[in-house]
């Protein structure tokens, strides 16, 4: 199995993740996930983004 | 078995790009109606197998939305995808064989056409399957109607309120995501969930959602 590092691939029938392909079976591809977790925004940041968008709407 | 939460709605649907508008519509409808969206995409624990994670989510969810519209063969390997029917089966099994809390489970089964399921999952004969025609807005309407019916909650937006809020949010999503330093076309599920929650909070403060 050729190892391609850090490419996006399909795991099982319906999930796409980024990671390192470590083994390929008949029905699925096993992926070793990156060590660092995907950083996500906080609810406060989301609230701020929505407020900024709505404030922009009001000034148009 | 742990008690299921009357706030939790398990969303069992395709996660491919073609169904992305539908998935986003379902999540929006659930959150805007005051419930908590639960799905396989919330999971990021490498120490637990995928099926164990699904067991946990299904066990904890009083309600479940199951979309069976993805029945065609996968272009890559010419095989159908069985995850959605499997997870529907787990949900129905928990309801059938679980304790009193699990027996309170309620399911919404969606498909593109009303009686198409009989051709590929005939054991569901006699169940009400709600057609959405592949229309994301229709999925919002179906979800709202079903949640009103099964939850008996009074603080659920009217169809006009919900559809208006949904349409405004989806229109503004690229700009909202940009304001949060994100790209709307590649949003991770937790990011999308938080943007919807922020939007719903703003809509409630403005009196546009109950």
Classified as helix, coil or strand, B158 is coil
B88, part of any domain: yes
B87, part of any domain: yes
Residue B164 has pLDDT above 80, yes or no: yes
Q: Do B180 and A46 touch (CB under 8 A)?
A: yes
B56, part of any domain: yes
Residue B198 has pLDDT above 80, yes or no: yes
How many independent structural domains does chain B possess? 1
Terminal CA-CA length for chain B: 34
A48, part of any domain: yes
A1, part of any domain: no
Neighboring chain B residues of A38 at a CB cutoff of 8 Å = 44, 188
What residues contact residue A28 under an 8 Å CB cut-off, 6+ apart?
Answer: A11, A12
CB-closest option in A14, A33, A40 to B14: A14
Q: Report ipTM (2 d.p.).
A: 0.83
- Give, as one character, the DSSP assignment of residue B157: -
Q: List phi, psi (to 5°) of A31.
A: -125, 135
- Give, as one character, the DSSP assignment of residue B70: -
Residue of A nearest to B40 (CA): A15
How many independent structural domains does chain A possess? 1
Neighboring chain B residues of A45 at a CB cutoff of 8 Å = 180-181, 194
B113, part of any domain: yes
User: Is B8 in contact with B33 (CB distance < 8 Å)?
Assistant: no
Please report, for the domain that includes residue B88, its CATH number.
Answer: 3.40.50.360
Range of the domain at A48: 7-59
**pTM for this prediction:** 0.83
User: Whole-angstrom Cα distance, residue B191 to residue B177?
Assistant: 9
B119 band by pLDDT with thresholds 50, 70 and 90: confident
CA dihedral B18, B19, B24, B29 (to 10 degrees): 150
Structure token pair of residue B60: 């904890």
């Amino acid at each position: 199995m050729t190892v391609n590092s850090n490419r996006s691939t399909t795991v099982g029938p319906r999930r796409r993740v980024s990671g390192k392909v470590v083994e390929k079976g008949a029905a699925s591809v096993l992926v070793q996930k990156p060590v660092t977790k995907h950083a996500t925004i906080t609810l406060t940041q989301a609230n701020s983004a929505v407020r900024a968008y709505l404030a922009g709407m009001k000034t148009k | 078995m742990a008690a299921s939460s009357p706030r939790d709605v398990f969303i069992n649907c395709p996660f491919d790009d073609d169904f992305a508008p539908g998935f986003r519509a379902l999540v929006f409808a659930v959150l805007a109606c005051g419930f908590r969206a639960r799905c396989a995409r919330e999971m990021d624990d490498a120490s637990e197998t995928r099926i164990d994670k699904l067991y946990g989510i299904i066990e904890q969810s009083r309600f479940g939305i199951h979309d069976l519209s993805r029945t065609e063969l996968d272009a890559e390997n010419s095989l159908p995808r069985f995850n959605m029917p499997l997870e529907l089966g787990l949900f129905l099994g928990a309801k059938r064989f679980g304790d009193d809390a699990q027996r309170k489970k309620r399911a919404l089964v969606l498909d593109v056409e009303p009686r198409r399921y009989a051709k590929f999952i005939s054991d569901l004969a006699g169940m009400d399957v709600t057609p959405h025609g592949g229309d994301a807005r229709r999925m919002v309407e179906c979800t709202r109607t079903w949640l009103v019916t099964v939850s008996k909650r009074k603080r659920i937006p009217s169809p006009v309120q919900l559809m208006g809020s949904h349409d405004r949010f989806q229109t503004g999503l690229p700009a909202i995501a940009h304001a949060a330093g994100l790209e709307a076309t590649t949003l991770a599920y937790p990011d999308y969930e938080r943007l919807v929650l922020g939007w719903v909070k703003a809509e409630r403060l403005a009196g546009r959602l109950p």
